[in-house]
Structure formats: structure tokens, C-alpha cells
């Protein structure tokens, strides 16, 4: 069976035993959150990403623990005390497990940013107040830049936020 997506319509064709093709067409309804998440995933200027996606609940818990420990360490010890070693100690997760999911310290920090973006996309789609939510997200990402002494917002997330805002504006009109 072949499948071709064009906007919100999918055209599939099945092949019968005698070799004739039967076109099958269906439409899909994309929620605003799904559209915005797709834009986020396809964005070209991306920060370091997870090495692999945690599939099981204990793997997701491990990754979440590492991200929370990252925030905890930077809050308690400042940016100078932030290291994979400190995160490992604070989270109780071994180095090997951390490096199984994250490429480096910047990958952990980027995951914290990604959580903020994902949460904002969900809030925007539920509330319908896309402009307000994305304005608050911009401020939150700039604040994370200050906390982590990184330019992730400027280097990666500014253009993503612009793309998400444009997609939302097109959907609204």
C-alpha cells in the first residue's frame, strides 16, 4: 500500500491480487497542538537533541529526573556548579544512563528548554490564546538563557517561536 499526504488529505492505493490499483482517500483532522508540534520537530535550527527517545515509563522518569536535577543544581550551586557529575549526583542517575539519553550537558539544558516549549504549545492549543502564551514563552526562554548562561533562545528558539507564531496566525485567519 502506498501513501501520499497532501495538506490534510491522504491518498492511499491498494493493489488487488490481479494487479489493479484501488485509490483510497481519507482526510485527517490536525489539531492545533499537533500542527505546532510538527513545526517544532521539523525546525532546522535545533539545539542538541536526545540520543534516543525514552519509551518506557521508567526511562521517561529517568530523563525527567535528570532535567529536574539540572534545574536544582543550577538553582543551588549556580552555573559554575553545573556539570553532568553534579546532575548525576543530584538525580541519582549514573553517568552511563545519562549519556544513554543525552549527548552532553548542553543536551540536558536543551531538554529543559524543549519542555518549556512543549508545555507552551499545549497551553496555547487548549486556551486558544496563542499570542499571549508565546509572548510568555519568549520571556521564559530568555530567562533560561540568563540562568544557564547560554544563547539558546537567540540561536535556536527565536526562529522556532517565529515559525510557530506564523503558523498560528495563518490558522486563525
- Please give the CATH number for the structural domain made up of 31-172: 1.10.357
pLDDT, tens digit (0-9, with 9 covering 90-100), for 100-118: 999 999 999 999 999 999 9
Q: Supply the pLDDT for residue 131.
A: 87
Q: Supply the pLDDT for residue 26.
A: 45
Q: What separation in angstroms does the CA of 165 have from each of 35, 45, 130, 135, 141? A: 12, 16, 8, 10, 15
Query: CA 61, 65, 67 angle in degrees (round to 5)?
Result: 120
Delimit the domains of the chain by residue range. Answer: 1-30, 31-172
Gap between the Cα atoms of 122 and 107, Å rounded: 22
Q: Supply the pLDDT for residue 162.
A: 85
- Under-50 pLDDT residues of the chain: 1-11, 25-30
pLDDT, tens digit (0-9, with 9 covering 90-100), for 26-47: 444 446 566 666 655 555 567 8
Q: Supply the pLDDT for residue 149.
A: 95
- pTM above the 0.75 mark? no
Strands ordered across the beta sheet of 2-6: 2-6, 9-15, 21-27
Exposed / middle / buried, residue 54 (Cβ in 10 Å: 0-12, 13-18, 19+): middle
Q: Supply the pLDDT for residue 81.
A: 96
Amino acid at each position: 500500500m502506498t501513501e501520499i499526504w497532501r495538506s490534510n488529505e491522504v491518498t492511499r492505493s491498494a493493489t488487488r491480487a490481479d494487479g489493479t490499483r484501488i485509490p483510497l482517500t481519507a482526510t485527517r483532522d490536525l489539531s492545533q497542538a499537533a500542527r505546532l508540534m510538527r513545526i517544532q520537530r521539523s525546525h532546522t535550527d535545533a539545539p542538541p537533541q536526545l540520543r534516543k527517545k525514552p519509551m518506557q515509563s521508567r526511562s521517561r522518569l529517568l530523563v525527567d529526573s535528570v532535567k529536574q536535577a539540572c534545574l536544582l543544581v543550577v538553582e543551588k550551586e549556580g552555573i559554575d556548579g553545573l556539570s553532568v557529575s553534579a546532575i548525576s549526583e543530584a538525580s541519582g542517575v549514573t553517568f552511563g544512563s545519562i549519556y544513554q539519553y543525552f549527548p552532553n550537558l548542553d543536551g540536558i539544558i536543551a531538554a529543559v528548554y524543549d519542555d518549556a516549549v512543549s508545555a507552551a504549545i499545549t497551553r496555547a492549543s487548549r486556551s486558544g490564546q496563542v499570542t499571549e502564551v508565546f509572548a510568555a514563552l519568549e520571556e521564559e526562554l530568555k530567562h533560561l538563557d540568563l540562568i544557564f548562561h547560554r544563547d539558546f533562545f537567540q540561536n535556536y528558539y527565536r526562529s522556532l517561536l517565529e515559525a510557530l507564531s506564523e503558523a498560528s496566525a495563518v490558522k486563525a485567519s
